[in-house]
């Protein structure tokens, strides 16, 4: 069977396996009560970060910048995250379930900042808006009387990340197509089909941009009930270069991956499905008694993998990866509690602010010996971080400086209240604490125009101030994080916490 026919057979034979169990479930839903959540917000205002929006659009709002915008910083921070999580007396149980909303934080040239946001008009969201209730299976919540889905995009929430390619903007999630949105209006233009036989196949939420401007990504067939990795390569021009399937030895969960100058590295956490039925994350049980399977794929041979094994690790996000002699070193954030790994901030979604926890995380290194075929984990001693990013201009033979939200000092919420820069190899850390009540999100690195030196640029990150019911944005000098924001702005309203974003410089 040729590769294109194989891909088409793959999607047609597996699309119903993982989602179908939830679609056919007739038992009562394991979902939350919106009224209970509303009561929780009254007692714990920081739960605003998990509140559902009730409007398809927010803004546009224009506010003054506090401080002076650095010369050369011009453009838009786009962010994406779950935003619509309640309908008809039902509230999603899992943070990953809410329909996606893309935000545009636009730095104007006149000392102001403008914000607008719009729901991604996926088929799921559009149909459920019309019906006034949830219709389709969710990743982590059982929906009563859910309709069967024909393909992944019937249940696609496009809620995890956003990426710019050749002047175009795409909203991404784990299990279906990228959805293109207009970079100015944020109107949804529709799902992207990179090639007709690849329609609706998973195009995951963490693509990585290579030094030549091309983009690598993967699709996890495990999310569809099978086993395998679909490796995507998209050119700088936004056209498909290749799509290859790598067979995997067993089911393994992965949300992101790492990349060196020559290789892609995929770490699969083994899991089993229980027989009780329900949504994907309700059925999925991590299998820490089995080793993680690690695929190393050479960029010049993306249809083949060299396989390694290492002790089990539950990981959502990776930092940098680099070549060291005959091996590869990569950094990742490991989650130590399996239940919290399956459903982060579960209590917050239920409005239980008194017992909510973000779980313990540790920054670990994976060392791969390419010659001997061996792999092992090494602890860095850094904990309580997530969403690590770095300057991709860093040389490919050394570790990068990592930027990540963290916790510093007392915090009202069981969430991040600071941002830090970590020089792991030298054991150095710089940190800026926003305050006891502020919730800090991912901070994107933006290079200074015209510079070539790694880490010469800024961090641009979003914030939530629940005491004053407002969301904000901050810009810090990446080399002097401890000095705090050089410029900051606050909206007159609060938006839900999201996951990931990208900065698109003004041309």
Q: Please report, for the chain, the start and end positions of each structural domain, with discontinuous segments joined by +.
A: 3-505
At 479-497, the pLDDT tens digits run 999 999 999 999 999 999 9
Percent pLDDT > 90 in the chain is 89
pLDDT level of residue 343 (50, 70, 90 thresholds) = very high
User: Is pLDDT at 405 greater than 80 in this prediction?
Assistant: yes
Chain-centroid distance of CA 436 in Å reads: 25
192-199's contacts with Cβ under 8 Å and 24+ in sequence apart are: 194/232, 194/234, 194/240, 194/243, 195/240, 195/243, 197/4, 197/5, 197/7, 197/8, 198/7, 198/240, 198/243, 199/151
User: Is pLDDT at 17 greater than 60 in this prediction?
Assistant: no
The pLDDT score that the predictor gives to residue 32 is 84
Outline where 219-344 has alpha helix (H).
Answer: 280-283, 338-342
Mean pLDDT of the chain: 93
Beta strand residue intervals within 135-291, DSSP E: 161-165, 168-172, 179-181, 188-191, 208-209, 215-220, 229-234, 240-246, 252-253, 258-259, 263-273, 284-286
The pLDDT score that the predictor gives to residue 507 is 75
Task: Kindly state the tokens that stand for 26.
Answer: 């007739």
Average pLDDT over residues 349-360: 95
Average pLDDT over residues 225-231: 83
pLDDT level of residue 31 (50, 70, 90 thresholds) = confident
The pLDDT score that the predictor gives to residue 276 is 79
**Distances, alpha carbon 423 to alpha carbons 320, 403, 407, 426, 429, in Å:** 12, 9, 17, 6, 6
User: Is pLDDT at 287 greater than 60 in this prediction?
Assistant: yes
User: Is pLDDT at 29 greater than 60 in this prediction?
Assistant: no
The pLDDT score that the predictor gives to residue 371 is 96
At 95-149, the pLDDT tens digits run 999 999 999 999 998 999 999 999 999 999 999 999 999 999 999 999 999 999 9
The pLDDT score that the predictor gives to residue 275 is 79
User: Is pLDDT at 197 greater than 70 in this prediction?
Assistant: yes
The pLDDT score that the predictor gives to residue 227 is 75
């Amino acid at each position: 069977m040729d590769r294109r026919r194989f891909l088409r057979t793959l999607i047609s034979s597996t699309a119903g396996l993982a989602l179908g169990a939830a679609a056919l479930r007739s038992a009562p839903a394991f979902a939350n009560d919106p009224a209970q959540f509303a009561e929780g917000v009254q007692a714990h205002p920081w739960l605003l970060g998990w509140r559902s929006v009730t409007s398809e659009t927010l803004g546009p709002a224009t506010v003054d910048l506090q401080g002076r915008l650095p010369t050369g910083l011009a453009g838009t921070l786009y962010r994406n995250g779950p935003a619509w999580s309640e309908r008809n007396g039902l509230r999603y149980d899992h943070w990953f379930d809410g329909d996606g909303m893309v935000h545009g934080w636009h730095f104007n040239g006149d000392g102001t900042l403008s914000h607008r946001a719009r729901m991604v008009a996926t088929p799921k969201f559009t149909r459920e808006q019309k019906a006034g209730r949830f219709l389709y299976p969710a990743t982590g919540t059982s929906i009563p009387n859910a309709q069967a889905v024909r393909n992944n995009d019937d249940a696609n929430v496009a809620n995890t990340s956003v990426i710019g390619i050749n002047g175009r903007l795409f909203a991404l999630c784990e299990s279906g197509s990228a959805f293109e949105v207009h970079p100015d209006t944020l109107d949804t233009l529709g799902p992207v089909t990179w090639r007709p036989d690849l329609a609706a196949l998973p195009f995951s939420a963490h693509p990585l941009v290579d030094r030549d401007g091309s983009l690598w990504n993967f699709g996890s067939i495990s999310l569809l009930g099978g086993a395998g990795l679909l490796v995507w390569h998209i050119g700088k021009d936004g056209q498909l270069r290749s799509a290859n399937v790598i067979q995997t030895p067993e089911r393994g969960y992965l949300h992101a991956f790492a990349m060196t100058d020559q290789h892609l590295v995929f770490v699969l956490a083994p899991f089993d499905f229980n027989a009780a039925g329900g949504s994907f994350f309700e059925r999925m049980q991590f299998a820490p008694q089995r080793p993680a399977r690690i695929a190393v794929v050479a960029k010049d041979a993306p249809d083949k993998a060299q396989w390694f094994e290492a002790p089990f690790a539950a990981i959502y996000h990776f930092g940098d990866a680099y070549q060291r002699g005959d091996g590869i070193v990569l950094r990742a954030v490991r989650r130590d509690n399996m239940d919290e790994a399956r459903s982060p901030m579960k209590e917050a979604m239920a409005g239980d602010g008194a017992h909510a926890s973000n779980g313990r995380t540790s920054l670990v290194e994976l060392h791969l010996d390419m010659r001997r075929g061996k792999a092992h984990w090494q602890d860095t001693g850094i904990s309580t971080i997530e969403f690590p990013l770095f300057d991709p201009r860093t040389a490919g033979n050394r570790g990068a400086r990592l930027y990540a939200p963290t916790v510093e000092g007392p915090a009202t919420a069981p969430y991040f209240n600071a941002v830090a820069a970590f020089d792991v190899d030298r054991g150095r850390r710089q940190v800026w604490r926003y305050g006891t009540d502020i919730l800090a999100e991912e901070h994107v690195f933006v290079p200074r125009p015209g510079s070539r030196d790694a880490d010469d640029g800024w961090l641009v990150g979003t914030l939530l101030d629940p005491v004053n019911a407002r969301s904000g944005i901050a810009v810090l000098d990446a080399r002097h994080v401890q000095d705090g924001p050089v410029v900051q702005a606050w909206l007159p309203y609060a938006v839900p916490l999201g996951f990931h974003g990208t900065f698109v410089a003004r041309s």
